[in-house]
Amino acid sequence: MGNERATSGRPDRTKCCIAVYGCAKNQVDAEEMASRLIAAGYEVTGDVSRADVVIVHTCGFIEDAKKESIRGIFHALEMTKSRTDGSTPVIVTGCLSQRYPDELLREIPEIAGVAGTAAPRDIVQIVDEVLGGKGTSKPAEPEAPAPQPERCEKASCEAVTPGNRRVRYVGEPGRGAPGGDGSLRFDSYLTKPWAYLRVAEGCRHHCTYCAIPSIRGPLRSRPEDEVLAEAKHLSSLGVVELNLIAQDLSDYGYDMEGKRLLARLVRKLSAVPGIRWIRLLYVRPDGVDGELAESMALPNVAPYIDLPVEHGSPRILRLMGRPGPEEILKAVDTLRRSVPDLYLRTTVITGFPGETEQDVLETMDLLCAIRAHRVGVFPFSREEGTPAYSLPAPVPESVARERAEAIRRQGLRLAAESGASMTGKDIEVILERPSARPGFWIGRGLHQAPEVDGVTYVRTPGAEKGRMVRARVTSSGILTLFAQETPI
């Protein structure tokens, strides 16, 4: 059921189960919700059958993600039927409910309520409202006051039909600042030696296919001192790797000072004691400059970047409202001047309206030109409310998927070549958990972001979670390396 989050608690406390769908930002949302609920006296469990309330935190970015989230909602409803009293409410939160609150309440009458993208901050009050005051809770934190259901800041945010406890808690996107008290990320909740660190929310760009600005709102960067405080707190909990995330990481600070401040933030984060790796996820090509490239050359900044190109055709990129091939090539060249061993992940969209076979070939050529190591590819999703929704010359879905498969195969070849080139080399690996293979631990190298880039199996005589080791790569697969620990 998605990614259920759990932590320990007293058996007599009201129990919440959180199922997470979508991106890393949703995972951070779920961590914040769980932490706030725990601080308010709730217990968070991964066992739906034990839960007194289930929260399904959804993605509504593209059609496939929407379908997955809807399946998750129905799965949660089905699982809660196993409760003998049949009274376990299901709350739907996140991007899907931000976009379609009324539709969800109308089409799925079994759900107890919907809450939008502000749900992480307001989750205690939302759960209290759904439970009709029966939950064990305290008021929301004073630094992020939750609106009262009967009188919200926005007219579209309201409690409905209180008699049957169905709650509609959805306001305009972008209400309030992102983030909050980083100390809410409890030791009992964080179980890995790495963490996502969100530095901003929302986006100031308007790519013609993207609904994110209408879902998550405009760019809102977290204050630098708040980000640094959370990084220090995470380090105190044993986290050694920070993966920086935002809708557009490269724009961090633009809303605060009228200029990009990511490079400065990276330099300051690199000085946080105990943090060994800092990784940048989702940087627009036109957000790359020499200062950012130089910050990536710092010893504890991973030579890794997630740089979405989205396409290789100048014509299609113009229609998308994205940086063109020249800007993409310039960005990669700037990065590799400072970081020669840069590991590059990117994403591509196929089937954009008007796309031809020649456009696809140009995309494949660009992937080779930038020497991409990992390629994620998605068929175009026609999203209502976006300029691309009404563009002429739509590409049939079957054709878009065929083209996506062709680029996916190219991406696998590039990944295999990258893995083969590492055989015989010494790499640094962070160990995460013991393997079922005797004598091996599972970890990741600098080139492997959590959850998307595969793992490295390290043969080691003795290890512990979070330990950094040097290992020599002995063999490779497309997404997997095998290595032997070597003396430092």
Q: DSSP letters along 303-317, please?
A: EEEE---B-S-HHHH
Look up residue 118 and give its two tokens. 């502000």
Between vectors from CA 264 to CA 262 and to CA 269, what angle results, nearest 5°? 90
Specify the pLDDT at position 88. Answer: 87
**219: in domain:** yes
Give the end of a domain, one of 169, 194, 227.
169
pLDDT, residue 179, reads 52
Residue 285: what pLDDT? 97
- pLDDT at position 83 is 60
pLDDT at 215: 85
Which residues constitute the domain of residue 432? 426-485
CA gap 365, 316 in Å, rounded: 15
Number of domains in the chain: 3
Which domain-ending residue is among 389, 422, 455?
Answer: 422
Q: Is the distance from CB of 324 to CB of 318 less than 8 angstroms?
A: yes
CA dist 2 and 301 (Å) reads 31
Distance CA 481, CA 402 (A): 29
CA 56 from centroid of its chain's CA atoms: 16
pLDDT of residue 177: 44
- Spatial separation of the C-alpha atoms in residues 125 and 69, rounded to whole Å: 23
84 and 160: one domain?
yes
Cα 196 to the chain's mean position, in Å?
8
Confidence at residue 139, expressed as pLDDT on a 0 to 100 scale = 28
Contacts 24+ apart (CB under 8 A), 460-464: 460/431, 460/485, 461/485, 463/431, 463/434, 464/431
Does 386 reside within a domain? Answer: yes
**Smallest Cα–Cα separation from 170: which of 67, 73, 99, 69?**
99
CB 445 within 8 Å of CB 485: no
Contacts of 74 (CB under 8 A, 6+ apart): 108
Q: Do residues 240 and 379 both lie within one domain?
A: yes
Coil, helix or strand at residue 153: coil
Pair 211, 106 in one domain: no
Distance in angstroms (rounded) separating the CA atoms of residues 113 and 162 = 11
Shared domain check, 372 and 268: yes
Structure confidence at residue 82 (pLDDT): 63
Tell me, yes or no, whether 7 lies in a domain: yes
Residue pair 346/386 in contact by the 8 Å Cβ criterion: no
Whole-number Å distance between alpha carbons of 41 and 89: 18
pTM: 0.81
CATH of the domain at 49: 3.40.50.12160
247 shares its domain with 100? no
117 and 216 Cβ atoms separated by less than 8 Å? yes
Q: How many residues are given for the chain?
A: 488
364, 312 contact by CB (below 8 A): yes
Does 186 share its domain with 152? no
Residues 383 and 480 placed together within one structural domain of the fold? no
Flag whether 301 is in a domain.
yes
Same domain, 156 and 187: no
Q: By the 8 A CB rule, do 231 and 244 touch?
A: no
- Write the CA distances from 369 to 123, 332, 473, integer angstroms: 46, 10, 26
8 Å CB contact between 175 and 217: yes
**Cβ atoms of 7 and 44 closer than 8 Å:** yes
**Exposure pattern of 454-465 as b/e (b: 16+ CB <10 Å)?**
bbbbbbbeebeb
Question: Does 473 fall in a domain?
Answer: yes
129 is a domain residue: yes
pLDDT at 43: 87
Residue 174 falls within a domain, yes or no? no
Q: CATH no. for residue 478?
A: 2.40.50.140
306 and 193 within one domain? yes
pLDDT per 10-residue tile (average), the chain, 488 residues: 46 79 85 87 84 90 85 86 71 89 88 85 87 43 30 28 41 48 48 89 93 88 95 92 94 95 98 96 96 96 97 98 97 97 97 98 98 95 93 95 97 92 93 90 93 92 85 92 89
Both ends of the chain: CA-CA distance in Å? 42
CATH number, domain containing residue 197: 3.80.30.20
CB 340 within 8 A of CB 318: no
**Local structure of residue 247 (DSSP, 8 states):** S
Distance CA 27, CA 188 (A): 16
- Identity at 62, one-letter amino acid code: I
Q: Bridge-partner residues for 18, per DSSP?
A: 5, 55
Locate all alpha helices (DSSP H) within 260-324, ordered by sequence.
Answer: 262-269, 290-295, 314-320
Check: CB of residue 162 under 8 Å from CB of residue 168: no
User: Same structural domain for residues 413 and 323?
Assistant: yes
Q: CB neighbours of 133 closer than 8 A, spacing ≥ 6?
A: none
**Is the same domain home to 255 and 342?**
yes
Domain assignment present for residue 443? The answer is: yes
Q: How far is CA 18 from CA 31, 91, 290, 421, 481, in A?
A: 9, 10, 42, 41, 33
Q: Which of 250, 239, 228 is nearest to 305 (CA)?
A: 250
- 196 beta partners: 243
Residues 432 and 418 in one domain: no
Cα 97 → chain centroid: 17
**Final residue before a domain boundary, out of 148, 169, 190:** 169
